[in-house]
Amino acid sequence: MAEAGYRVTGRVQGVGFRWWTRSLATRLGVTGTVRNMPDGAVVVHARGSDEQLASFHVELGKGPFGSRVTAVEPLPFSADGFADGEFVIVR
């Protein structure tokens, strides 16, 4: 399994981004966490195959309807908040 962290910026809070991310991850078979940050960014940590994470990264850059993603930056991976076999929205 591959692991990746992402910091997503733009208009990504208040538009259902975390719920959309969880739905996307479930559809792609990716596990991990997503959380809003105080600075307006969303941070995502994910596990999956290289192919799954490549697709996940591309889709994060598009975001859901109503969002406007300006950047998806790599972050060091963190397993904080992980639940085996799930994708969790961390509050």
Catalytic site residues? 18, 36
Nearest residue to 14 (alpha-carbon basis) of 61, 62, 68, 59: 68
Nearest residue to 72 (alpha-carbon basis) of 80, 63, 64: 63
> Which tokens go with 77?
């991976």
Task: Compute the distance between CA of residue 41 and CA of residue 28 in angstroms, rounded to an integer.
Answer: 23
